[in-house]
Structure 1
């Protein structure tokens, strides 16, 4: 707390300084002013918690100062000290919230009691303000997540507009009576992961940043809103209402903003105009069809409008997986890498000769491959290494958003090689547990993480957690978690203006100072030095 004493009589200021036991209240900064004008200058710079003020002063008197404080510093506590009992001097203290009115000459006990009441009131209100501030911060953190989930349910048809109409109107500006809508969808797959790589593979963070960029374009007009989609196959959804005829221009502006900020443009699917709210799910479906139905072997611009007549044409033109999938299976079982690679190369050569290929085809192939590999794995080894949900193809697009057959071919080879047990980690029980632990750390690095917590979660002793993690991965568990957190912190330092305390909490450290020490030990720089560099 800081204190200001305002009085044109020096001996009064000295008396207040002398009588009050400042140290008992932890107060070391005490300022003085001889009139209201000087006081305002000090208040604007120092923001004192408590002010002792005379009423009759030159230039700007106590009544005028109290009125100014009421408007510009309402949380400040004021104790009025005056030599006058006239009601004209008492009234401003009452009207503008003075905590006490003391008459000169000062009585030390009354002065101390008044000061202690003011200090206590300010501390109590400050605690309440801090609590409210923390609650507001939590709400501001949760609000985007709430709208991500709510709007994802709305456009997918699992939640009704009627129950959300009020909050949609109040917070997003989607007025009741809106009759039409359009939807755009954005996927990071077609960006050759360049944007994703900038955020160290953190899809949630990348999607969060992209949604913010889109909302900077559309939200001020209150005619649309971008959010992260919670289900599969889509990263960002933009819902347009009111000025739906301008949706294509808005989408172009969004891509231009992404280009300016991150040096890359993305492929975006855009629906036709649909009735709102009854056809929201249909608009969402159209936008996704526009995106995954584009020819990924040719550059055709970045905005892909839904066209009903192209649905059947593209579907019929999509090639099916070759009958020689059986060759893949036999080569895997034989363990002959050359034979396996030759089968994959033949398929890749077939793809290279195509003039039309859609993302829909790639998705279907990857789905079928996942089913087939899972079945083979269980049939041959009774092994869950290739459980379908663990089979993942990384996006295979170049900087122009065109599909690269070679990258997709290499991923297929790697999957088959892993299935043949010629590469990757051994499939012992220990390795499976350690893989689960590592995946858990990757997903929960921001939480409080101890060896005991991990041991209890995976039913393994603390000693075995450390020992087996080192045996299987070649790295200490604590080092792995620290490096993971530091890498996430680097991304946030590079790409956001968040305070260090916020970043510290987001990567799993409640103590900002401890986080800074860990960061410096790992990188040789403090977080501030790293951000500045």
Structure 2
């Protein structure tokens, strides 16, 4: 059983998590709960849990501060964070502490079970990595190569080539990150398969490292062809376990004292696995992704907890694409998200968090405009959870496209409406949005000047004039409902009340206040003559 510590300042959440899950069924046992950060650290130091599930926001010492303090002494500890929709900024900070994932409140039973199953596999693999059998010659060789790496990384000399028989002309480290539904027995079988192909045929040595398996090989790979060939061989060897594998190779070296350098290069490269685009071994001498030092042209940092402007803009574009039920537009926006978010965020967890923010903002707008569709927020919850389970950016993009296109179909997408009709209906549904012809042109994939001409030919009015008329008609409805003038101005997209006054008078012939007063007087007169109204109907 793997030990679990539950941390949340709300007793109801601690009790709920303890009782709704059959922990033992998934190889876990709740050994303690804590209601504060300090209590959590004390429990952790005493019980050494395998997994800590912790609220990201707590009074006093936050969940992030707890993780940071524990990480100083236990760098390999596992954490799941509990987060509300409003806590994305905190979640972004948590990526630097290497959390295993996060769960949205209120916690869904199926989501936490999926996380437990995933983490259980990781814990099984880690226990396997630490298992050593001194009597087994293969395990002994593995232990020796790990000691060689350790000594080299510590700057100590080593003569392990004599005990290992490593009188090779060159040495190269290849690291494999393997994802599959494996228990301990299957994991051992998979490792033995590689040992048969490399150790027993004197092609190299198989060893374990913190997140997978490593190969020390003497037939080095220096070209894409040899990198592809070895990758294909490894995939074939492991095919029966249906694995998803990522691999990286450090440079070939001529001395065992330099093996650690090859290992470090491979490990650094494998850390960028999320941005891998090809199914082969990534080489140390290939172009590496370099993050933008300026955070991208035109991008601003967070101010007062608000999102970067680009993420808000991307969320608006995605909302527009979903609202017009256009799969083609969704794909364009997803492509733009990839192009603009990667240079700014560039690490796996930061990209995933930024992606989640854009999706959440877009879904919140979509849900507000389609309150009758409960499936929108249900899809949102599933989609956000899936974001954090994707292994590469390509996987993430494909998964998001699949979810969003299925949502479009449920919303009645795929119609043959013309662009103009879609555009008009979109404006009528969203008069309060900050609508600009240039942004809509991007969504519909048109040149903005050309789209403006098409729009005027179709409606007989310019885009801005048509938008003003739609907004004024909506304003009249809201004034009839009793809203105040400044509230109406904001609701229909006019930030400046005086500007709204001018527009309203231009199209209606009187000010909003005069219009509202006249309508109120008319309604009062109507209520004083109910009998006449009834006789008219009769």
Rg bigger for which structure? 1
Regarding TM over 0.5, the answer is no
